[in-house]
Amino acid sequence: MSEREVYHTTFDWPKEPDVQNRLLAPLGISEEETAKRLIEYHRNINRILPSYPKILKVISSDQPCVDVFYQALTYVQSQHRSNAPFTPKILLCGPTGSGKSLQAALLAQKYGIINVSCGHLLKEEVAKNTTVGESIRPFFEKDMDVPDQIVIRILVKRLSEQDCICYGWVLHGFPRDGDQATLLENVGFTPNRVFFLNVPYDSIIERLTLRRTDPVTGERYHLMYKPPPTMNIQERLMQHPEDSEEKVKLKMDLFYRNSSGLEEYYDNIIYVNGDQDPYTVFEFIESGIIMPLPVKNPS
């Protein structure tokens, strides 16, 4: 038996006589003292409970302690719709390779909001062979942009689902210019936080053009930051066609031509230095989500 073990004369009495003989009643548990504490509790609790109407969970403790514990644990681990006026609707903007996907995943993981990647949504429709997916497929095959009206149709469907409504969302991959931002707002979806991830041109080239994949294991490497462990692996590594320097430069040039329209469209943009450790970037984005938006002075 460990020292200072707690027992109960009715529910948990020790079997060993020597343990029974050395037990002591703790101070402050007499009937009179307990009654005083109960009176004080009931006098104050009715003024405390109304302060937590949206998150209060009443659990009867007149049952086995294990049952009480699991009811409390189930409630704590469940996600509840927030009744606060602020539901996260976050837009991440930035050139290819700026880290939007990673930051969206980190936000989704920590805050339980829904990670909405426009590119992934389009690919899912094609993979499912839906009617919309079949209309997207020719654009994929020709390496052309999918028309905005098709994209917005898919986005509206996803952002209107119950999980996005309850928990909020973080969107990346759309909009990419002012016209697309207008289109998104016209269908009823306006972000309440907009982040621009700024990464120097040379850093993007370094991040993307040095990526490689092992066709045998599927393992991904980076020739500078995560080089392959052996020469045999290095010799068989392959580069994704989209990571060629020519393709990367085309995507970056397109982004920078269109980004000015986005910057003009959205007020209160939060600019982020994306050329640093991903978790440092995440902390900066997180601070921008938590802090209140500045209040505009009435004109």
- Into how many domains does the chain fold? 2
pLDDT per residue as tens digits for the range 251-293: 999 898 988 899 999 988 999 999 999 999 999 998 888 765 5
Last residue of a domain, one of 74, 102, 123: 74
User: Is residue 275 in some structural domain?
Assistant: yes
What local confidence, expressed as pLDDT, does residue 173 receive?
Answer: 94
- Average pLDDT over every residue of 215-228: 92
Where helices occur in 131-244 by DSSP H, the ranges are 131-141, 148-159, 162-167, 178-186, 201-209, 231-236
Instruction: Report the predicted TM-score, pTM, of the whole model to 2 decimal places.
Output: 0.68
Place of tokens 């990367």: 248
Query: Residue 200 — pLDDT band, cuts 50, 70, 90?
Result: very high
pLDDT per residue as tens digits for the range 165-181: 888 999 999 999 999 99
Does 70 lie in the same domain as 196? no
Does 241 lie in the same domain as 135? yes
pLDDT over 70 percentage in the chain: 92
Residue 159 burial (CB count, 10 A)? 18
pLDDT per residue as tens digits for the range 16-66: 888 888 888 888 888 888 888 888 888 888 888 777 766 778 888 888 777
User: Is residue 277 in some structural domain?
Assistant: yes
- For the record, the structure tokens of 53 come out as 């109407």
What DSSP character marks residue 145?
Answer: P
Q: Distance between CA atoms of 162 and 165, rounded to whole angstroms?
A: 5
Residue 187 has pLDDT above 60, yes or no: yes
Last residue of a domain, one of 74, 108, 139: 74
pLDDT per residue as tens digits for the range 123-171: 999 999 999 999 999 999 988 889 999 999 999 999 999 899 888 999 9
What local confidence, expressed as pLDDT, does residue 117 receive?
Answer: 96
Of the candidates 211, 221, 254, the one whose C-alpha atom is nearest the C-alpha of residue 96 is 254
- Average pLDDT over every residue of 232-236: 94
Query: Residue 79 — pLDDT band, cuts 50, 70, 90?
Result: low
What local confidence, expressed as pLDDT, does residue 147 receive?
Answer: 94
User: Is residue 5 in some structural domain?
Assistant: no
Structural domain including 236 reads: 89-290
SS (H, E, C) 176-191: CCHHHHHHHHHCCCCC
Mean pLDDT (the chain, rounded): 87
What local confidence, expressed as pLDDT, does residue 237 receive?
Answer: 94
Q: Distance between CA atoms of 101 and 105, rounded to whole angstroms?
A: 6
- Average pLDDT over every residue of 95-121: 93
User: Is residue 160 in some structural domain?
Assistant: yes
Q: Distance between CA atoms of 121 and 80, rounded to whole angstroms?
A: 26
Dmax (CA) of the chain: 86
- For the record, the structure tokens of 272 come out as 């982020």
What local confidence, expressed as pLDDT, does residue 108 receive?
Answer: 92
Q: Distance between CA atoms of 213 and 233, rounded to whole angstroms?
A: 10
CATH number at residue 99: 3.40.50.300
Residue 295 has pLDDT above 80, yes or no: no
Tell me the one-letter amino acid at 114. Answer: I
How many CA atoms, within 13 angstroms, populate the side-chain half-sphere of residue 292? 5
Does 125 lie in the same domain as 98? yes
Find out whether the peptide bond into 175 is cis, omega within 30 degrees of 0: yes
User: Is residue 210 in some structural domain?
Assistant: yes
What local confidence, expressed as pLDDT, does residue 292 receive?
Answer: 55
Residue 218 has pLDDT above 70, yes or no: yes
User: Is residue 106 in some structural domain?
Assistant: yes
User: Is residue 6 in some structural domain?
Assistant: no
Does 155 lie in the same domain as 68? no
Does 197 lie in the same domain as 153? yes
- For the record, the structure tokens of 67 come out as 């049952």
Q: Distance between CA atoms of 145 and 118, rounded to whole angstroms?
A: 12
User: Is residue 284 in some structural domain?
Assistant: yes
Last residue of a domain, one of 43, 74, 105: 74
Residue 298 has pLDDT above 70, yes or no: no
